[in-house]
Amino acid sequence: MNLNPYFKSVLDQDRASIVLCGLDHTILYMNPAAIRSYAKHGGAALVGRSLANCHNAHSNEMIQTVVDWFAASPEHNLIYTYHNEKQNKDVYMVALRDEDGTLIGYYEKHEYRDPETLPRYDFT
């Protein structure tokens, strides 16, 4: 996938996994955090493959239900999907739209609840 270098840099610097998918559920892009997170499932080799191969039937049904909801209205752009207790994070699905608001894909967004442990402005 050819991403604008600025947008690619934003995605690549995110510490949370980002997996972009097309409407046919093909994995189009994985940032380095996602490649590491999903290494035991194939990592970078998952790009170009169907996300459906990574989920059970119920999960695939829910993913398609969300995509259908995104497609129903340009106002439908984010939905909470679950909380991962082990990693203390909330997970969302987010619509990807072109300049005209047409749905072109989706991604999963992870928001960690733990406070940051890095020191402020630590330049060392």
Tens digit of each residue's pLDDT (9 = 90 or more) over 33-78: 999 999 999 999 999 999 998 889 999 999 999 999 999 999 999 9
CATH code where residue 64 lies: 3.30.450.20
In a domain, 108, yes or no: yes
**What is the number of structural domains in the chain?**
1
Q: Which residues contact 96 (CB under 8 A, 6 or more apart)?
A: 20, 103, 104, 105, 106, 107
User: Is residue 3 very low, low, confident or very high in pLDDT (cuts 50, 70, 90)?
Assistant: confident
In a domain, 119, yes or no: no
In a domain, 118, yes or no: no
In a domain, 86, yes or no: yes
pTM score, whole prediction? 0.88
Enclosing domain of residue 90: 5-112
User: Is residue 116 very low, low, confident or very high in pLDDT (cuts 50, 70, 90)?
Assistant: confident
In a domain, 120, yes or no: no
